[in-house]
Amino acid sequence: MPSPFPGMDPFLEQGAYWPDLHQRLIAYTSEWLRPQLRPKYIARIDERIELLPHRKGLVPDVMVVEPRQISESSVTYGSLVADEPQTFRVLDEERLVPYIEVIEVASGDVVTLIEVLSPANKTGKGRKQYVEKQDELLNRTVNLVEIDLLSRPTATLAHAFEVDDPQDWRYIVSISRPQRRTSIEVYAIPLKDRLPRCKIPLLPEDDDALLDLPTVFSRCYEMGDYDLLLDYNKPPPVSLSKAEEEWMEALLVEKGFREATAPQ
């Protein structure tokens, strides 16, 4: 069964389902692009390591328990000597983040990098790490495509610009080409709209490839069996405007995912 939403499904933004969707978006995007790229280019999935710092109030996955050691300068008060405590050292958790590289076969050069943003890219230390990586890429002759299917605030290139068309956009895809870094191509996507069919730039002498995000997302939804997991009778895990709430309610009732509420 397909998603009831014409574009991105906000119910998939919850933490329990996003990692699976993220992996599928990367895999099926690469698969979709493959026939357009061959034989000059290939799309490869690679991973980088990002560190997720231990957050207060959470039980860490990785700890090192250091044995008790006798301190050279013991803490004393009169004839009393403080006992030596154990020390628990919390390690930053490593997370493997997949992305797509479009590579020219003859030279082996990366010509385009496609990122699908995750929640860790958009807040706190993770956002800082992502923006630093972004700056590094923009200093290279590489096309950068950022797909952000998580509700604002955004950490894409577009965050530096005042994107106000349409005003009710929630998701965004941005493209930066090395030949014109001062210009950013943007697809700003409201909740009620379908996902865009995006340009994927290659080398300047070649036509852009086309990424059919609606088809890729539909495949993710089907192969992830999300229709069996999502409860559309509950509120979505993100805040919606009043207009979005009313539109979503009518949509879910129309599609048979919710019963119409009786008038008061």
Q: What are the tens digits of pLDDT across the range 80-138?
A: 887 777 766 555 556 678 999 999 999 999 999 999 998 878 777 777 888 888 888 88
63 falls in which pLDDT band (50, 70, 90)?
very low
CA–CA gap between residue 216 and residue 28 (Å, rounded): 6
Task: Look up the domain containing 205 and give its range.
Answer: 10-53+90-254
pLDDT over threshold 50, residue 220: yes
pLDDT of residue 82: 78
CA–CA gap between residue 134 and residue 128 (Å, rounded): 10
Note whether 36 and 29 are within 8 A (CB). Answer: no
Strands 143-148 and 110-116, sheet pairing: parallel
Flag whether 125 is in a domain.
yes
Flag whether 25 is in a domain.
yes
Flag whether 166 is in a domain.
yes
Flag whether 1 is in a domain.
no
Flag whether 85 is in a domain.
no
Report residue 199 as tokens: 């340009």
Of all residues in the chain, what percent carry a pLDDT higher than 90? 61
Flag whether 174 is in a domain.
yes
Structurally, the chain folds into a number of domains equal to 1
- Give mean pLDDT, residues 167-191: 93
pLDDT of residue 162: 79
Q: Alpha carbon of 89 to those of 32, 86, 126, 164, 246: distances in Å?
A: 44, 10, 21, 46, 49
pLDDT over threshold 90, residue 238: yes
Flag whether 71 is in a domain.
no
